[in-house]
Chains A and B, each alone.
Chain A
Amino acid sequence: MISSAKVKSNSTKICCYLIVTISVFLSNSVMAQTRFNVSQKKTDVSTYRHPEECIAAVERSAKTHKNNLKVWSDTAKLLHSELLDSLPASVVAEANRCVTTLKLNTLRELEYVNWIRAYLEADREQDAQEVLRRQLEIVSSKPLEDKIRVFINVRGAFESVRPVSLSVLSDLADSVIKNLPDTALEQLIKIHMSQMHLAINARDSSYLHKEANRSLSFLNSLTPEQRSKEQYHGLKTSLANSAMQFLAEAEILDSLKKGTQAFLSLKRLLFTKAGARIDDKLPYAVGEKAAPIQGDFWFTHKSIHNSQSSIANYDLSKPSSGRVNLIVFLTGGCHVNVLPSGIAMRETNKSTCWDIYSSIKRLKEKYPEIDITIVASTFGSLATTDPIPPEAEASLLSDLWLKHHDLKATLSVSSTEFFKLSDPDRRRIDMSIENVKNYTFPGVNIQPKVSFLVSPEGIIVHSAILTRSSERDFERLIDAMIR
């Protein structure tokens, strides 16, 4: 704390004044900021009168709790277990204290969602149900869309609290599905999709099977016209894929152990059963031939770490024949701030690719037999560094990924062809590199971290964005191909 004795006399009172100089901040709030210890005084929730205040209070205290948790440096933002985790007892107690100040008779028509959320956070589901009942009463004489909107809003409230009440959500979904007319195809698909996603994220296998079965029955109940309708085709495919993936997981993995062809045959059979059209290809590039990876600059982990070893000594035909291959696209958004000296590399934006390095390492450690190829392209610069030539950029990328992050992989960097718009626009327009063209399939757009698992026969058996949560899917498939 600053001693008051050191404050100057009245003649030198502090005031706000403009200083046109970098980093000199003169706002009143800044001037007043001379204390360095933030008060830890608790908020008095008993004075609160609105559910929004309670929700905010709960969020604040839950955040404090969360900040104190130790997490892996590569842990993705959303943990599966998070959905079913209870809020800490202290947070629930605070929420409870807060909602006791709310009087149900003051509930206004449009406030029901926040009331429900506030009650749920306080572990008072009965009160939440009472709010829902009142709201349904209000909309009972209104058109069907209004009722559906209430269910969807309430569903959102139930989904946002922890722990998520899967049974209530399932009942709510049932209510919406029963009430929706068959013609509301998009809404129906989306509700099934969100239930599936919830089940996947919650990792509750019985719930997952229930939802997958419900989705499959829904898909099978579609009329031939609805089934062949081009509209919502992507949504239908995605739903079918998710459902069969989990319903027949064991069979799918077993078939892969027998060989790629058996795996593909089973996939196609299941996919057709799940409502696909006869001429549909398997979704997400599964069954496609993996094209050879091209590159202008190649680096291997060994060549980077052994100055005696030339890149020419390595087999650079990727994907390697006869081996399980993982092809990882680290394009565009994965460009990070590599200082030109190369000695102090730091990633500036951990939101894009920072978590994939651990996934790649874990997969390689667990399955040393697999061949990992990282595919990148030049961008003309790295983050906010000065523009650099492709060769230097490729070299910096290899330093970053193969040396600094120690990824045991082969790196292929393609020099991106580009042109510039005429003056005064001057924007650089990048052309697609061959690798991106070759690996773009219906439902699969190349974006940072998109990864392809390729069988020893050179057939793509899985594609997804490689994250900590999707890592397990890759593991199971690799396991089936290798063991």
Chain B
Amino acid sequence: MKSDIIQNSDERVVSEKDLLAVCHKIGDIGSKAERLIMGAASFWTGELNWARNRVALSSDRRGFIIRLTVVRNNGVGFASTNQFDDESLEGVYNCAERRALRQASHRGNDIELESGVTDTISALTWSDETFDRTANQKAEIVKDLLDKVEDRSLTSAGYIETRGAVSAHFSRDLFSKILTSSGKMTQAECSITVRATDGTASGWAGQSGFDIGKISERDIADTAFEKCLKSFNPVRIEPGRYTAILEPQAVADLTSLLLHDGLLMSRSYAERGMGPFVAGIDHGVQRIRSKMGLKIMDERITISHDPSDPELGVIPIPGLKPVTWVKNGVLNSLAFEREYAVNELNERNTDIHRRSFRMSGGNTTIEEMIETSQRSLLVTRLFGLNIIDEGSMLSTGLTRDGLWLIENGKISKSIRNFRFTESPIFVFNNVRQLGVPMPVFSPVGDPGVISTVPHYGLQTAIVPPMKVDDFSFTSAVDAI
């Protein structure tokens, strides 16, 4: 196969077969390598971005990438290219090989080879509707929103983005055993903000997932619009401890403080005496114990992840097992990788950290939570979160894009935003009511992070709305 075919293809993405052929070609070039691991991908992005009621970008972008890891003389070398012609493929291999040879005393054989999968999982990650969504279809939704927004002299910003990608993975070990796998996936993200032009009111809504059919950009636009209208004329109330109704997005924002941090969620970190899950020293065995096995949250809360859960976005890592971090309020597991498994547990199974999670819930609707409240706050989402103290997970941040006071079972007024100083662990211990879990807006992570640990890339979350007691709002802020 001529690699130029890929480069000059009119298709948005090329086939898995063609990508694998490129991998095999590099495999032939690198016949001297002790080990060879590579990932190749062809991808497409269609964006529609707007701000101040004007479309800023409508794109159709396509790209390729091949990332190569070579082990030579026990050294490891990395290189990548976005050019698939023969000269570039040879060049990228030579570059990785040179780097490998330059550090010949490194840890070449510590790199774990993937076991490889022959069957693709595309059925669970690919949506034709997402891939086929055109710029015109997106523009129609945005046009309708902007018409409404301009009628009320409001302003809007946001984006609707759809992506499609085909990828192939190739590895060859010391015994020349070759494993290959390939797959394809789509992704859709929609985030919409509607604001008053004088900056006194704001409404936001968003969602992400692999199937745009389940997202409904029109509903998101309506929600953002309605929230903005409801948040006009906010009043300032005194900060303090309030019962708070956290919409799913706010719950996800709070939970992500814990779940998105690989270090805080790691067993070895806790067992070195750091982070929120340290129980103390067990003098009998002279080891620091983590809080695994201890109750840390309300018993109605279970936090888990199943890599084959289509709602969370299937993570294509062979051997990645489902994990339950918190089971009925008890810390059931913390993340650990192979080195820990082998050295500390003498086991081969791992619980690799991943950012996606599903939190169990109840069946109370947000409306019911409001109706049963004497005086509480309804929080749309949280912003600018920072951990103040790792041990207690005391954190701070702002409420944003819609905060309302509820009095006597009804939303009584829109209020100015608050800075909060609170720990997610305290919050999840003060749960009064739980709603039905639902997907939230959780855009994919930093591409740089994805590159090294793909399971960090997807950070989808399915969480319930929650009514909690004594949420600590510490000061009023002017941000909207």
A interface residues with partner B (beta carbon < 8 Å): 1-3, 6-8, 11-31, 33-34, 36, 67, 337, 339, 341, 344, 346-350, 354, 379-381, 383-387, 420-421, 423-429
Contacts and interface: CB of A to CB of B under 8 A. Distances in A.
Contacts of A31: 63, 65, 82
Contacts of A424: 292-293, 332-333
Contacts of A17: 43-45, 61, 63, 163, 165, 447
Nearest to A27: B448
Say what secondary structure dominates the interface of chain B.
mixed
B108 A426 contact: no
Most chain B CB inside 10 Å of its own CB: which residue of A11, A12, A18, A344: A18
Given A20-B125, A20-B454, A346-B109, 19 more contacts: A3-B87, A6-B83, A8-B62, A12-B63, A18-B165, A19-B450, A21-B169, A23-B169, A24-B65, A24-B451, A31-B63, A380-B342, A381-B343, A384-B342, A386-B342, A421-B285, A425-B290, A427-B271, A427-B345
B88 A2 contact: yes
A397 B161 CA distance: 55
B346 interface: yes
Nearest to B318: A22
B29 interface: no
Contacts of A15: 45, 59, 61, 63
B313 interface: yes
Nearest to A350: B105
B346 A26 contact: no
A87 to B, nearest CB: 22
Interface residues of B, number: 84
A421 B289 CA distance: 10
Nearest to A423: B293
A348 B43 contact: no
Interface in B148-203: 163, 165, 167-169, 174-175, 183, 185, 187
B369 to A, nearest CB: 33
Contact of A20 (B74, B346, B458): B458
Given A24-B167, A387-B348, A424-B292, A19 B41 contact: yes
B341 to A, nearest CB: 9
B81 interface: yes
A172 B67 CA distance: 53
Contacts of A354: 105
Nearest to A339: B174
A196 to B, nearest CB: 31
A27 B451 contact: yes
Contact of A23 (B7, B37, B60): B37
B344 interface: yes
B338 interface: yes
B457 interface: yes
Contacts of B289: 425
Contact of B109 (A27, A337, A423): A337
Contacts of A429: 285, 287
B80 A21 contact: no
Interface in B426-463: 444, 446-448, 450-452, 454, 457-458
